[in-house]
Amino acid sequence: MTWDVSKIRCDFPILSRTINGQPLVYLDNGASSQKPRVVIDAIETAYSQEYANVHRGLHFLSNLATDKYEAVRGTVAKFLGVADENEIILNSGTTEGINMVAYGWAMNVMQPGDEIILSIMEHHANIVPWHFLRERYGIVLKWVNVDSSGNLDPQAMLDAITPKTRLIAVTHLSNVLGTKVDVKSICRGAELKGVPVLIDGSQGAVHMPVDIGDIGCDFYAITGHKLCGPSGSGATYVKKERLVEMRPFVGGGDMIREVHKDSVIYNDPPHLFEAGTPGIVQTIGLGVALDYMMSLGMEKIAAYESELVEYASDKLNALNWLNVQGNATGKGAIFSFTIDGPGHAHDISTILDKKGIAVRAGQHCAGPLMDQLGINASCRASFSFYNTKQEVDALVDGLRLANDLLG
- Residue 233: burial class (beta carbons within 10 Å; 0-12, 13-18, 19+): buried
Q: Please tell me the number of Cα atoms within 13 Å of 251 on its side-chain side.
A: 7
Judge contact between 345 and 336, C-beta under 8 A. Answer: no
Q: What is the dihedral of CA 88, 135, 165, 367, to 10 degrees?
A: 80
Q: Which residues are designated catalytic?
A: 365
Nearest to 273 by CA among 252, 248, 239: 248
Q: Which helix (H) or strand (E) holds 383?
A: none
Q: Which helix (H) or strand (E) holds 130?
A: helix 128-137
C-alpha distances in angstroms, 362 versus 108, 131, 320, 381? 36, 22, 22, 12
Angle in degrees, 0-180, between the axes of helices 389-406 and 298-317, rounded to the nearest 10: 30
Secondary structure (DSSP) of 304-356: HHHHHHHHHHHHHHT-TTEEEE---TT--SEEEEEESSS--HHHHHHHHHHTT
Q: In this structure, how many other beta carbons lie within 10 angstroms of the beta carbon of residue 137?
A: 14
